[in-house]
């Protein structure tokens, strides 16, 4: 079987891109996910009446994989070997090498769903109402309703096209609805909050885990800080992280609080923050604003 899969701790972009790109590829391609869906993603698949992709378990030696929305080895499925990957479709920096040539499509767009949309349009394939709704949701989710600095003109153009096809008229309002669903995680367990959208990175041999949670009202999470930090500490110790960071993004203020455990001082120096003052105006994107600084300075 050839599986089309997104990253661990799946977000809407990675699940939607896997689903829609598998449709594009056709027979023999099966979308799959590597973990439980978050509330936002569940809501999106329910809204457009689609059964979400199955959970990938039990990788066989002759299985092949198309990766969407990720390419770092630290983020691929456990048990997957690099030589099982036949294609990558992504909007993150490429950080892999292969012994054989494979298909790699990367574009600096705000979402993988935008790349999938472009492929459909270029190939003159029909984007039906349902697919348009899914793709639009993923674009809004990944670009934080176009507020993230990762947003490009392409994302906005495709959103217009997809909103017409899907019948979702007020795109901004729908985006807020999505983030309200996503924010429901703030009432879950500290572990669920931290791992909701969590990625591992390797910065010159230093393993750093970075979670992000985007909220319309950060107070929902702030009141849980005393439960969340100790849990981050446990995760750091159990998995020998150099540091674990939770990026708490205030969608309305357009900035983020950085909660850090582990080698705090190194991280604090890089971002010029401290225990009392850990808010960074303008930081919305882990990929574009958090990871590059750590990559250069750690
Ligand atoms: Mn993405």
pLDDT in tens, 152-190: 999 999 999 999 999 999 999 999 999 999 989 989 999
Ligand 1 midpoint to CA 276 (Å): 31
Taking the C-alpha atoms of residue 201 and residue 115, their distance in angstroms, rounded to an integer, is 24
Does residue 97 carry a pLDDT above 90?
A: no
Of the candidates 234, 25, 44, the residue with the CA atom closest to the CA atom of residue 116 = 25
Q: What is d(CA 60, CA 64) in angstroms, rounded to the nearest whole number?
A: 9
Question: Can you give the three-state secondary structure of the chain, one letter per residue?
Answer: CEEEECCCCCCHHHHHHHHHHHHHHCCCEEEEECCCCCHHHHHHHHHCCCCCCEECCCCCCCCEEEEECCCCHHHCCCCCCHHHEEEEEECCCCCCCCCCCCEEEECCCCCHHHHHHHHHHHCCCCCCHHHHHHHHHHHHHHCCCCCCCCCCHHHHHHHHHHHHHHCCCCHHHHHHHHHHHHHHHHHCCHHHHHHCCEEEEEECCEEEEEEEEEECCCHHHHCCHHHHHHHHHHHHHHCCCCEEEEEEEECCCCEEEEEEEECHHHHHHHHCCCCCCCEEECCCCHHHHHHHHHHHHC
What CA–CA distance (Å, rounded) separates 83 from 64? Answer: 9
For residue range 127-155, list pLDDT tens digits in order: 999 999 999 999 999 999 999 999 999 99
Distance (Å, whole) CA 282 – CA 90: 24
CA of 120 to the centre of ligand 1 (A): 18
Is residue 185 within 8 A of residue 196, CB to CB? The reply is: yes
Q: Are 198 and 160 in contact (CB under 8 A)?
A: no
- CA neighbor of 196 nearest in space, from 223, 167, 228: 228
Compute CA distances 105 → 89, 91, 185, 210, 240, whole Å.
5, 8, 32, 25, 33
pLDDT digits (tens, 9 = 90+) for 13-42: 999 999 999 999 999 999 999 999 999 999
Res. 95: pLDDT tops 90: no
113 Cα: distance to centroid of ligand 1 (angstroms): 8
Query: Do 129 and 166 touch, CB atoms closer than 8 A?
Result: yes
| Segment 257-294, tens digit of pLDDT | 999 999 999 999 999 999 999 999 999 999 999 999 99
What is the value of pTM for the model shown?
0.91
pLDDT at 74: 84
Express each pLDDT in 41-63 by its tens digit: 999 999 999 999 999 988 999 99
Q: What percent of the chain has pLDDT over 90?
A: 93
> How far apart (Å, rounded) are the C-alpha atoms in residues 141 and 135?
10
For the chain, which domains are there? Answer: 2-180 (3.90.1640.10), 188-297 (3.10.310.20)
Distance 256 CA to ligand 1 centre (A): 19
**All residues with CB under 5 Å from ion ligand 1:** 13, 69, 112, 142
Q: Looking at residue 98, what is its pLDDT? A: 85
Distance 13 CA to ligand 1 centre (A): 5
d(CA 251, CA 221): 13
Cα 37 to averaged position of ligand 1 atoms, centre (Å):
14
Q: How far is the CA of 83 from the centre of ligand 1 (A)?
A: 23
């Amino acid at each position: 079987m050839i599986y089309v899969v997104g990253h661990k701790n799946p977000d809407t972009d990675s699940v939607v891109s896997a689903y829609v790109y598998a449709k594009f590829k056709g027979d023999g391609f099966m979308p799959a996910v590597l973990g439980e869906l978050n509330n936002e993603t569940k809501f999106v698949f329910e809204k457009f009446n689609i059964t979400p992709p199955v959970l990938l378990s039990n990788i066989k030696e002759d299985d092949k994989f198309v990766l969407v929305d990720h390419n770092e080895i630290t983020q691929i499925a456990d048990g997957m070997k690099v030589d099982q990957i036949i294609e990558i479709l992504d909007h993150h920096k490429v950080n892999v090498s292969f012994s054989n040539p494979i298909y790699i499509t990367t574009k600096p767009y705000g979402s993988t769903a935008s790349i999938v949309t472009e492929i459909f349009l270029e190939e003159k394939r029909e984007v039906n109402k349902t697919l348009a709704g899914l793709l639009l949701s993923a674009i809004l989710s990944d670009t934080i309703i176009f507020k993230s600095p990762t947003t490009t003109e392409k994302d906005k153009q495709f959103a217009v096209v997809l909103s017409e096809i899907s019948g979702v008229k007020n795109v901004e309002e729908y985006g807020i609805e999505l983030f309200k669903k996503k924010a429901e995680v703030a009432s879950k367990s500290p572990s669920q909050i931290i791992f909701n959208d969590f990625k591992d990175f390797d910065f010159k041999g230093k393993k750093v885990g970075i979670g992000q949670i985007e909220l319309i009202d950060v107070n929902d999470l702030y009141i849980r800080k005393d439960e969340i930090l100790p849990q981050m500490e446990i995760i750091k110790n159990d998995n020998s992280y150099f540091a674990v960071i939770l990026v708490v993004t205030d969608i309305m203020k357009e900035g983020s609080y950085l909660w850090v455990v582990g080698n705090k001082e190194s991280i604090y120096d890089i971002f010029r923050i401290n225990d009392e003052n850990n808010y960074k105006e303008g930081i919305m994107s882990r990929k574009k604003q958090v990871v590059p600084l750590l990559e250069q300075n750690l």
